[in-house]
Chains A and B, each alone.
Chain A
Amino acid sequence: GENVEQHPSTLSVQEGDSAVIKCTYSDSASNYFPWYKQELGKGPQLIIDIRSNVGEKKDQRIAVTLNKTAKHFSLHITETQPEDSAVYFCAERAAGNKLTFGGGTRVLVKP
């Protein structure tokens, strides 16, 4: 079955530094990889996604890279700010509507 491993489970960075979260997946048919940010008391919010025909996508301070051969994808946050503190989830989808989520990474940006 589908499986998504996410690392690290917690990440503490100094404000202004970069943060990197990595996910690996097992289903070679996976073709869509979203990232969600969940702040305290809120539901997960989609922040960026990438499809299998693209290797990298960037949106201001966040970027996602995908290596289909190695079956892993990563989220990069540059120039981190305190408001980036949240739990981040990666996910993958092979077909249909079902997303399989990673275990989450709690990011703390220290001022």
Chain B
Amino acid sequence: ETGVTQTPRHLVMGMTNKKSLKCEQHLGHNAMYWYKQSAKKPLELMFVYSLEERVENNSVPSRFSPECPNSSHLFLHLHTLQPEDSALYLCASSQDRGTVREQYFGPGTRLTVT
């Protein structure tokens, strides 16, 4: 266990559905990340939150909407997705101060868009 949990672990949704992915970290970190992992791009950074503020958005389509209500929780809200959005979505966290900034990953949510 890395101290980062994600729910659900598997999700199947239609293109017209709305769903949310949840991430929680128990490490006392203050930065959190969403990554997309697919066969085309093994680890693609989507969003970065530091101290609950979004500091990076890597040109992600607006059908993905992140939310960081506090330093321990991160959500990814999904709506009107496309089949090519099917992938493993990974959450990570790190400490955003000092030189020790290793990222710890959760187990991921396997998303299938039908």
Binding site for B on A (CB under 8 A): 32, 34, 36, 41-46, 49, 51, 87, 89, 91, 93, 96-99, 101-104
Contact = CB atoms under 8 A, between A and B. Distances in A.
A4 to B, nearest CB: 10
Given A34-B102, A89-B43, A98-B56, A43 B90 contact: yes
Contacts of A45: 2, 105
Report which residue of A96, A97, A101, A102 has the largest number of chain B beta carbons within 10 angstroms of its beta carbon.
Answer: A97
Nearest to A9: B42
Interface residue tally on B, bucketed by range: 20 to 34
Nearest to A32: B101
Given A98-B56, A99-B45, A104-B42, A43 B50 contact: no
A97 B104 contact: no
A99 B58 CA distance: 12
B103 A46 contact: yes
Interface of B: 2, 4, 31, 33, 42-43, 45, 48, 50, 55-56, 90, 92, 94, 96, 99, 101-108
Given A36-B105, A98-B45, 7 more contacts: A43-B2, A43-B4, A44-B43, A44-B90, A89-B43, A97-B33, A99-B45
21 contacts: A32-B101, A34-B102, A34-B103, A36-B105, A42-B107, A43-B90, A43-B92, A43-B106, A43-B107, A44-B43, A51-B99, A87-B42, A89-B42, A93-B101, A97-B50, A97-B55, A97-B101, A99-B45, A99-B103, A101-B42, A104-B42
B103 A43 contact: no
B52 to A, nearest CB: 14
Nearest to B42: A104
A102 B106 CA distance: 19
A100 B103 CA distance: 12
